[in-house]
Amino acid sequence: MPYRIKVQNKMGDWYQIFPDDVKLKSFLKVMKEQGAIFQEDGSFTCEIYEIQPVIDSIEEYIKGKQKEFNSPRALRTRIQKRQLEMDQGIYKVVPNSLFDLTNDFVPSTRKKNTGYDIEPAWRIIEKNATHWFLFTSFNFIKFLEGSIIRSDILTFKLREHETILIKGVNE
């Protein structure tokens, strides 16, 4: 049973914040500070009254993933994987960074064609925004847009008399 951390918007819909089995310590600490009730199996329920610390912990997750992506070990693994693919005749465009959105082309492997299909960056983003780490906090904010407002240019707050339910569950 995977462990999932989900948030509920005011329409009653649920959104999974992190991938399966991710128990981010900084996020769980924020939940504890906001009054989460934890069970023995690690599941919890929390009504959020302050949204910015939650967003900040999601941003820390993104920074950690970017650091992991740029590590020498990860680089060696990607190079070895690419070398193996190229030895098998698989050629494709790969990002230089987790945040590299400058490439407007994606490879075509249809009918053993190693040319490129033209696809704009906005379409690549649109297709991948739901699972790229880069968009984790954007998707979270977008999902809750009916319940949160900007308090200034860089921070958000809940609308007056709003609370948000976040659960960590084993499903």
DSSP labels for 54-98?
HHHHHHHHHHHHHHHHTSHHHHHHHHHHHHHHHHTT------SST
Cα(135)–Cα(142) distance, integer angstroms? 10
Q: 161 by DSSP, 3-state: which?
A: coil
Length of the chain: 171
Strand partners, 15: 7
Residues near 102 by beta carbon (within 8 Å), at least 6 away in sequence: 121
| Six-digit token string for 161 | 């008399």
Which residue pairs from 105-109 have beta carbons closer than 8 angstroms and sit at least 24 positions apart in sequence?
none
User: Tens digit of pLDDT per residue, the chain (171 long)?
Assistant: 899 999 998 889 998 888 888 888 999 999 999 999 999 998 999 999 999 999 999 888 888 887 887 788 887 887 888 788 777 776 665 555 444 444 444 444 454 544 444 555 555 555 665 555 556 677 788 888 888 888 888 788 999 988 899 999 998
Torsion angle (degrees, nearest 10) of CA 84, 88, 93, 97: -10
Residues near 81 by beta carbon (within 8 Å), at least 6 away in sequence: none
Contact (CB, 8 A) for 122 and 17: no
Residue 12 burial by CB count (10 A; 0-12/13-18/19+): exposed, middle or buried? exposed
pLDDT of residue 129: 55
pLDDT of residue 130: 53
| Single-letter amino acid code for the residue at 44 | F
pLDDT of residue 60: 87
